[in-house]
Amino acid sequence: MPTRIDDAPEGRDTPMAIAGQHAVNGQPMTPPWPEGMEEIVLGLGCFWGAERLFWQLPGVHVTAVGYAGGVTPNPTYRETCTGRTGHAEVVRVVFDPRRLDLTTLLRHFWEAHDPTQGHRQGNDIGPQYRSIILTTSEPQREAAERSRAAYAEALRRAGRGEVTTEIAPLEAFYYAEDYHQQYLDKNPGGYCGLKGTGVSCPIA
């Protein structure tokens, strides 16, 4: 069932305190971004492995994990895990489109998870693990929708289910607690739930 505002935790006015510097590449994790950078927010299950996927891509300026797509302001991890905030676990990806085009970034997104599972990714169950793309411009939205249609067709041909990925404009991104930021760099043996379908995404 969709989250109702009166069911959601109240949240807070104060943003989560984070170190502010990316543990892997040393870049600031808070804006302003350097001129020419683009930002997109992606949810594909547990954000630990998802963030590592994106920070490793050439052309990504910086990443941060957080919560978005719901109603509770500045939620905690514990609140988000109740499923009542409406938020998904997401990765803010700031990238240089001169070095990494959006189509390539979206192809990595689609192929790294199973976008047909609704409110889950594998054994991770709940709306916080849903597949979601939150865009910051109209061209991004159009590209995301084209890529969703192309991958949905590829999955149908492979006998997989219907794509459940949401695409919407980004309204707010709330940073997760500092210990979640670059978690798999700080904890190399930590849990990574990423598992694709094995179906290639047919976008150039």
Which residues are known catalytic residues? Answer: 46
User: For residues 36 and 39, what is the distance between their CA atoms, to the nearest angstrom?
Assistant: 10
DSSP-derived secondary structure letter, 172: -
* Distance set, CA 87 to CA 4, 7, 69, 97 (Å): 12, 13, 5, 27
* Distance set, CA 134 to CA 30, 141, 145, 198 (Å): 18, 8, 11, 24
Reduced to 3 states (helix: H, G, I; strand: E, B; else coil), residue 162 is: coil
Do residues 88 and 70 make contact, with C-beta atoms less than 8 angstroms apart?
Answer: yes
Could you tell me which residues come within 8 angstroms of residue 161 by beta carbon, excluding any fewer than 6 positions away?
A: 116, 117, 155
- Number of Cβ within a 10 Å radius of residue 58: 9
